[in-house]
Structure 1
Amino acid sequence: MSYVIGVDLGTSAVKVLLMNRLGSVVAQYSESYPLIQKKSGYSEQDPEQWVKKTLNVLKQLVQQNREEAAKVEGISFSGQMHGLVLLNEENEVIRPAILWNDTRTTKQCHDIYDVVGKERVLAITKNPALEGFTLPKLLWVKENEPEHLAETSVFLLPKDYLRYRLTNQLHSEYSDAAGTLLLDIQKKEWSKEIADKLGIDVAICPPLVESHAYVGTITEQVAYDTGLPESTKVFAGGADNACGAIGSGILSEGKTMCSIGTSGVVLSFEENGEKEFEGKVHYFNHGQENAYYTMGVTLTAGHSLSWFKDTFAANEPFEQLTAGIDKVPPGANGLLFTPYLGGERTPHADSSIRASFIGIDASHKRVDFVRAVLEGITFSLNESIDIFREAGKKIDTVLSIGGGAKNEEWLQMQADIFNAKVERLETEQGPGVGAAMLAAFGCGWYDRLANIADEWLKVKKTYEPDPDRAEAYKQLFSLYKDVYKQTKSLNEQLVSFRK
């Protein structure tokens, strides 16, 4: 039997999956790496750490699975989006990579609208100018480190730099490029118009290929360092959310995914790039050729729960923290939580807003607060589903992955709040599986990604919405949306008091 490898280059760690032709995860390994946070709002990483840690886990995979590793045919990648890696003419890294969660670029986002125009940016890129995207980072470097931009021969996104180091080939692909704010997502080409207006040389944008494109084999040195066969084919891969969509089977119209990790994502398949959401949700090229996906983001989804645990139950496991939430009725006995611990993305691109508990009284117990946190996270995700439905999309089934798919009561809560059937997969590895599926497709194991999904992905359990709870949550959701409006001004006035 032959095998493929999916590499998921995340924000905190790299994970590799070894998968066989049956879609089984034969082995998985991971190693973490640190963030560099020089100032408040800064978030950077050393790209060399990505390479070092990836080579380490690939070597570990080979050493502990020698028979299978000798039959590896291909490898592909999923990666954290939006990060900026600058290379000089020798393809050496000029400065640490600026990551997606770096928020230093508010001024540059305003500059983009002032120079290009908000409507024109939305018309070309289908996305608003937000701090996380790559173009504002380029403009920040231009303004604050002009010597580094002058030295730049090409910029890459994180997983594209990792792939370059494994192949010596420079490329990007459409799903990750769509998150730069420099790609015309319908024409599938870099926007010379935007680059020229902002004084960025479009020549520093890398060549573009499809996510399943074959870009070469691993180098002789990488084969030596890891033990993988020199014949191992390398495929371009995709942005983490695009690979998460592939790895969850979101490959046709009507399919929607909810992923709850540190942040939360609601992602829905689009057959083309022609719909208009006026920047309320993200609109990106899919890892499936000539397809797209729309996506809403909750910045602190699972992080809201982990924050509550670390603050009020640091020494308890999550299972103990969430015990008893099924005994608390919808609405947590009159307690509402908004998960704005670090600002919000969808539908409010607001870096000043902060979280609230509304309705606290002396009768509330800790379990009420836990249920309120879970409901608040889910309400925030439902705002994206609400936008999709208002635009005419039919959403009756949602596939749930990530931390939110590990708790039975939370899955039922999602079904009730979304008022949709919620499905949980038997094996949930998301982006890493999506990367492996791209490698399998590139190797010719199947003639369509959808065929791989049909073979590899199986639903473990389905949760149906309860009509009474769904109606209660409909009323609570209306109150939830009012909290943002009522607290926006207060939070703006509190900014100067934050340390």
Structure 2
Amino acid sequence: MAYTLGIDIGTYETKGILVDHAGAVVAQAARGHQMLVPRPGWAEHRPEEDWWGDFVFVCQTLLRESGVDPRAIKAVGCSAIGPCMLPVDVMGAPLMNGVLYGVDGRAEAEVRDLTDRIGEDVLIARCGNALTSQSVGPKILWLKRQRPELYAQTAHVLTSTSFLVQRLTGEVVIDHYTAANFAPLYDVQTQGWVDDLAEDILPLERLPRLMWSNEIAGEITGRAAAATGLAPGTPVTAGTIDAAAEALSVGVDRPGDMMMMYGSTIFIILRAAERVADRRIWYAPWLFEGEHGSMAGLATSGTLTRWFRDQLARDLDPAEAFRQLATEAAASPPGANGLLLLPYFSGERTPLHDVHAKGAFFGLNLTQTRGDMYRALIEGIAYGTRHVMETFADLGQRPARLRAVGGGTNNRLWLQATSDITGIDQEVCDKTTGASYGDAFLAALAIGAVRRADIAAWNPAAETVAATPDPVYEKGYALFRRLYQQTRDIAVELP
């Protein structure tokens, strides 16, 4: 037997999977970690502990529990949250915590300064995206301005996946899909690094070498083999961001296919027939040369359900809390007995791109229950998702097929509310393991063990969640949109 290994670093958990070349799961493992919030609007991970430490732990666990000979693992694929910003020294050692993706808004001033200097139209034309909290370029400029002593020691700026690949192979690489988030340092037209838009951010030689996600970046070094238990010489793919690997895991592979990931954030990827340029959403070259992806994402989704559990359900057994909360919410009717939630607990990403947006429960009264509040939370995330889907529709990018994936798909109330509020049916595949499964498939693809079309056999559709429109939701969505508009000025003045 021959196998491939996939490991993904998520916002709150690392997951790994070992599969054979027919897609059958041999072993799975996971390890939790925390997202650090050192101050409002910031979000960080510890690279040594949360990225590399988790990778090693999960890898060793998979080998031990499966009993698979490491030499039978023919390739390794990895992905991670992204885009992140991590400066490392000449030895590859992290100089600070990893600065996370769009939930970290520390570079607001740099986003504004670079946009004013370059011009938004030029940014969209050259980089494919307006600068937002999702962009890595402004965060590197923040590093230069606010941590000059660390900037001076920086040999390379990596993202989370790049860091893992470097630890495994010694190669400093990044896939094009991830690199497109490094605006204004990546040109989507030439698909290469550029410095003519902003020469003062970083010398280009300090950025990783560009690759496609189905290419082999290098092989497991002796040092990495000693740490992980993997065989020296095992090929490792260039990897990608977790959401892209997750999309591949459920067969999002042809124009018109869309993934909705129910994770720490709702993240949406559309395989587009051509490049779509609009400041409200993101663009990147897809995982394979000559293909296109359009993306959108909320700032807080699963993160918000976790916050609710930790702050408002401390009386419940943590292992059963989400199931109990879903039961309580199911007893509340659509519309949550008149309660609305704005899910902007870390600002908002698409389509608002508003780092000052704030979360809110609105309409509270003394008759409402925790179940009403949790249902309002689910519905608020779904309203935010509808806002994104309407943006795609405005751009002529309605999905031909939508597939749901991620841990949140276990919450049937959340799934159904999202279909009912957006008016879109969702397909759920047989395996909802997510990004690590996509990583294992990419690894098999990179060594020629499978074809792209084989993902349909690896992970077929299992059920469809059909949309059931409700007038209550139509009214609720209109009020949701108005509530943000009418409180936006207040939010800016709050700390």
TM-score by length of 2: 0.92
Alpha-carbon distance in structure 2 between the residues aligned to 1:371 and 1:333 = 9
Worse-matched range after superposition: 339-348 or 328-337: 328-337
Kindly indicate whether residue 391 of structure 2 is the aligned counterpart of residue 390 of structure 1: no
1:257 positional shift: 1.6
SS of the aligned residue for 2:165 comes to: helix
Alpha-carbon distance in structure 1 between the residues aligned to 2:197 and 2:30 = 38
- Confirm or deny: 8 A CA contact 1:265 1:381 kept in the other structure: no
Change (3 A) 1:224 1:78: same
Q: Which residue of 2 aligns with 1:433?
A: 437
Q: 1:211 aligns with which of 196, 210, 213?
A: 213
Alpha-carbon distance in structure 2 between the residues aligned to 1:312 and 1:67 = 43
1:472 positional shift: 4.1
1:396 positional shift: 5.4
Query: C-alpha offsets along residues 40-75 of structure 1, whole Å, 9 cap, x if unaligned?
Result: 444444433232332233223223323353310000
SS of the aligned residue for 1:364 comes to: coil
SS of the aligned residue for 2:397 comes to: coil
Alpha-carbon distance in structure 1 between the residues aligned to 2:157 and 2:371 = 48
1:14 positional shift: 2.9
- Report the AA paired with residue 136 of structure 1: P
Query: Aligned ranges for residues 12-411 of structure 1 at < 5 Å?
Result: 12-33=12-33, 38-49=38-49, 50-100=51-101, 101-181=103-183, 182-196=185-199, 198-273=200-275, 275-277=276-278, 279-316=279-316, 317-323=321-327, 325-395=329-399, 397-411=401-415
1:290 positional shift: 2.3
Change (3 A) 1:354 1:92: closer
SS of the aligned residue for 2:196 comes to: helix
- Report the AA paired with residue 225 of structure 1: A
- Confirm or deny: 8 A CA contact 1:211 1:287 kept in the other structure: yes
Alpha-carbon distance in structure 2 between the residues aligned to 1:360 and 1:482 = 17
SS of the aligned residue for 1:194 comes to: coil
Alpha-carbon distance in structure 2 between the residues aligned to 1:35 and 1:323 = 27
Change (3 A) 1:151 1:364: closer
Worse-matched range after superposition: 218-227 or 360-369: 360-369
Q: Which residue of 2 aligns with 1:481?
A: 481
Unpaired runs of 5+ in structure 2?
A: none
Change (3 A) 1:302 1:406: same
- Confirm or deny: 8 A CA contact 1:396 1:420 kept in the other structure: no
Worse-matched range after superposition: 217-226 or 420-429: 217-226
Q: Which residue of 1 aligns with 2:465?
A: 463
- Confirm or deny: 8 A CA contact 1:195 1:202 kept in the other structure: no
Change (3 A) 1:355 1:45: closer
Query: C-alpha offsets along residues 410-452 of structure 1, whole Å, 9 cap, x if unaligned?
Result: 22222211211111122112111111111010110123x2x13
RMSD, matched Cα? 2.2
Alpha-carbon distance in structure 2 between the residues aligned to 1:383 and 1:219 = 46
Query: C-alpha offsets along residues 110-138 of structure 1, whole Å, 9 cap, x if unaligned?
Result: 11112222221122222222234221121
Change (3 A) 1:43 1:359: closer
1:191 positional shift: 2.2
TM-score by length of 1: 0.91
| Identity of matched residues, % | 28
Kindly indicate whether residue 445 of structure 2 is the aligned counterpart of residue 445 of structure 1: no
Alpha-carbon distance in structure 1 between the residues aligned to 2:370 and 2:44 = 36
- Report the AA paired with residue 298 of structure 2: T
1:241 positional shift: 1.5
Alpha-carbon distance in structure 2 between the residues aligned to 1:388 and 1:41 = 27
Alpha-carbon distance in structure 2 between the residues aligned to 1:407 and 1:30 = 20
- Confirm or deny: 8 A CA contact 1:335 1:368 kept in the other structure: yes
SS of the aligned residue for 2:337 comes to: coil
Alpha-carbon distance in structure 1 between the residues aligned to 2:432 and 2:143 = 38
Alpha-carbon distance in structure 1 between the residues aligned to 2:313 and 2:374 = 11
Unpaired runs of 5+ in structure 1?
A: none
- Report the AA paired with residue 355 of structure 2: S
SS of the aligned residue for 1:67 comes to: coil
1:312 positional shift: 2.7
1:37 positional shift: 5.1
- Report the AA paired with residue 444 of structure 1: G
- Confirm or deny: 8 A CA contact 1:266 1:381 kept in the other structure: no
- Report the AA paired with residue 70 of structure 1: R
Alpha-carbon distance in structure 2 between the residues aligned to 1:358 and 1:99 = 29
SS of the aligned residue for 1:333 comes to: helix
Alpha-carbon distance in structure 1 between the residues aligned to 2:71 and 2:479 = 58
- Confirm or deny: 8 A CA contact 1:133 1:179 kept in the other structure: yes
- Confirm or deny: 8 A CA contact 2:221 2:233 kept in the other structure: no
Alpha-carbon distance in structure 2 between the residues aligned to 1:94 and 1:419 = 47
- Report the AA paired with residue 380 of structure 1: G
- Report the AA paired with residue 88 of structure 2: L
SS of the aligned residue for 1:19 comes to: strand
Count of matched residue pairs: 488
- Confirm or deny: 8 A CA contact 1:3 1:68 kept in the other structure: no
Worse-matched range after superposition: 368-377 or 283-292: 283-292
1:325 positional shift: 3.9
Change (3 A) 1:331 1:165: same
- Confirm or deny: 8 A CA contact 1:244 1:430 kept in the other structure: yes
Alpha-carbon distance in structure 2 between the residues aligned to 1:199 and 1:339 = 33
SS of the aligned residue for 1:70 comes to: helix
- Report the AA paired with residue 26 of structure 2: V
- Confirm or deny: 8 A CA contact 1:125 1:185 kept in the other structure: yes
1:482 positional shift: 1.0
- Confirm or deny: 8 A CA contact 1:379 1:477 kept in the other structure: yes
Change (3 A) 1:46 1:311: closer
Alpha-carbon distance in structure 1 between the residues aligned to 2:377 and 2:219 = 47
